Structure 1
Amino acid sequence: MAGIFGKQAAAAALFGCSLISAFIISTFEALAAELKVMSTVALTPALDELKLGFESNGNRLTIVYSTIAELKKRIDAGETADVIMLSRPVLDELARQGKVTEGSIVNIGMSYVAVGVRAGAPLPDISTAEKLKAALLATRSISYADPAKGGASGVYIAKVIDRLGIAEEMKPKTTLVPNAQAGELVARGEVEMGVAQASEIAAVPGTQVVGPLPGDLNSSIIFAIGAGSTSQSPSAAKALIELMTSPAALDVMKSKGMDPP
């Protein structure tokens, strides 16, 4: 019986892969192009996987990953891209400025600022503000994105720590990272606790998401995709947007810790 179920599962997986391949072929045939993409680091795990499908028919993606604040700064300074993936409010602002094509913006996922620990470690109780405060004070070490570099989750958790009144106590045991490396430090055992977007933590093998910050301390962010208004390959840019909003892509996003938008 187990062998039958195993064969059925394998057949279902093969059928799913066939559907994804068929979607990619039908969507991107004759659209081979080189596209520059600017994307928030929160989408790195999903986009790195989906990139392989997009490039399977001769397309090429050059992806620039960074924090939302840093990418917005570069775009404001004149840098351009064929496709841009940032938070929805920032993309809407860029559309108003004429830097993203009006009407091209689509939501692709949602994530929240989360606490993460090493896989198998006891899960701290962060269900209330007071319990989160106690967990932060009890942890031996913590890591999150450097607020000075504009990482959204880093800026946010720094404000939460200040609001809880424990900023001075946390400084000696805090390791700041440039982007989304907090989960990696947790997985390697270099810090006990990491705070980042849930999708960033979930994508790192050896980590587990404890959960979102409690109550009104919680913060979620909607990520979206849009076409750069100066793109010389608008058809290919549209095809990439269609892939990123397809059911197959949503499944990949979910597997990487991203919630539906």
Structure 2
Amino acid sequence: MKALKQQLAALTIGLCTLASAQAEQLDVMTSGGFTAAFQRLSPTYAQTSGDTVDTILGPSMGKAHEAIPNRLARGENADVVIMVGYALDDLIKQGVVDPASKVDLADSRIGMVVKQGAAKPRIDTEEAFRKTLLDARSIAYSDSASGVYIQNKLFKQLGVEQQVGSKAKMIERIPVASVVASGQYEVGFQQVAELLPVPGVTFVGKIPESLQSVTRYSAGIPRNAKHPEQARKLLAYLSSAAVQPEVNATGLDSVPR
């Protein structure tokens, strides 16, 4: 605890030295999985650095108007993008993001929720999880990385693709937990960090580790960013050891370093 406090103090002192420089507004595009962590961390960074942070939300991929690649393609400004690692890699290959700026931030695992007050089914083993899927009247999953994995791989791996196909639905744009909370779907799957902030649901747990698809969230700086130097300092803060307790509290796992 003492060491952590010392790290935080040193980080705060370092950030405070930035406050004397000209303050800038940083436009940060972040996808769902890291959003809760960023919303915890960005006020502290803004207060100590003197910069202001404008948070712009959007999925890492997909056809939605709000998706980060689509925003960038339309010419929207971003000083930092935070998104699924392989989606960021695509932007790097396209020449949109500076490859030298890439920083790994956190790992995210898939979890399940039911409506608040409903019984919590077992999902602690592969067989129990398979039974829960077969017994569920309706299943919702996201349109981002976790949902793509569930739809294209997980159902097939468990041998339930035919049985659940007609009752499973990919939910676009909005949090999966919200449609479970409203009673539209009985169970919902998404990355844990995207499930926990939504009211009206009960978090059942993470799916079995043998069936997990771990999504790494990374960040980078677009080549046309207006404030690349300030962006690099923000990324150093977000990936520092001192902020990991806050990151972990949102349901994310620290990246092994």
Structure 1 length-normalised TM: 0.78
- Quote how far apart the aligned CAs of 1:256 are: 0.3
Q: Which moved more, 1:42-51 or 1:63-72?
A: 63-72
CA contact (8 A) 2:59 2:173 kept: yes
Q: Are 2:249 and 1:252 equivalent residues in the alignment?
A: no
More deviation in 11-20 or 117-126?
Answer: 11-20
Task: Determine if the alignment matches structure 1 residue 49 to structure 2 residue 40.
Answer: yes
2:219 maps to 1:228? no
Aligned partner of 2:206 in structure 1 is 211
Aligned CA RMSD, in angstroms, stands at 3.3
Q: Which moved more, 1:72-81 or 1:12-21?
A: 12-21
1:133 is matched with 130
Maintained 8 Å contact 1:41/1:180: no
Answer yes or no: is the 8 Å Cα contact 1:126–1:135 preserved in 2. no
8 Å CA contact 1:115–1:196 kept in 2: the answer is: yes
**Quick one: which of 68, 72, 75 aligns to 1:71?**
68
| Aligned match of 2:21 | 30
Residues 1:188 and 1:22: Cα distance change in structure 2 (over 3 Å): farther
Distance 1:222 1:59 in 2: 27
Partner residue of 2:30?
A: 39
- Is residue 180–residue 196 contact of structure 1 (8 Å, CA) maintained in 2? no
| Structure 2 runs not aligned, ≥5 long | 62-66
Distance 1:256 1:250, change over 3 A: same
Change over 3 Å in CA distance of 1:20–1:193 after alignment to 2: farther
Match of 2:53 among 61, 69, 90: 61
Deviation at 1:222, TM superposition (A): 1.0
Deviations 1:42-74 (A, max 9, x none): 111111111211222542222221211132244
Could you say which structure has the higher helix fraction? 1
Identity across the alignment (%): 27
Alpha-carbon distance in structure 2 between the residues aligned to 1:144 and 1:207: 16
Equivalent pairs counted in the alignment come to: 246
Letter of the 1:39 counterpart: T
Q: 1:83 aligns to what? A: 80
Output the TM-score relative to the length of structure 2: 0.79
54-63 or 225-234, which deviates more: 54-63
- 1:211 CA displacement: 1.6
Equivalents in 1 of 2:85, 2:170: separation in Å?
Answer: 26
Displacement of 1:238 after TM fit? 1.2
Instruction: Report the CA distance shift for 1:214/1:55 in structure 2 as closer, same or farther (over 3 A).
Output: closer
What's the CA shift for 1:230?
1.0
Please tell me the residue identity of whatever aligns with 1:207: T
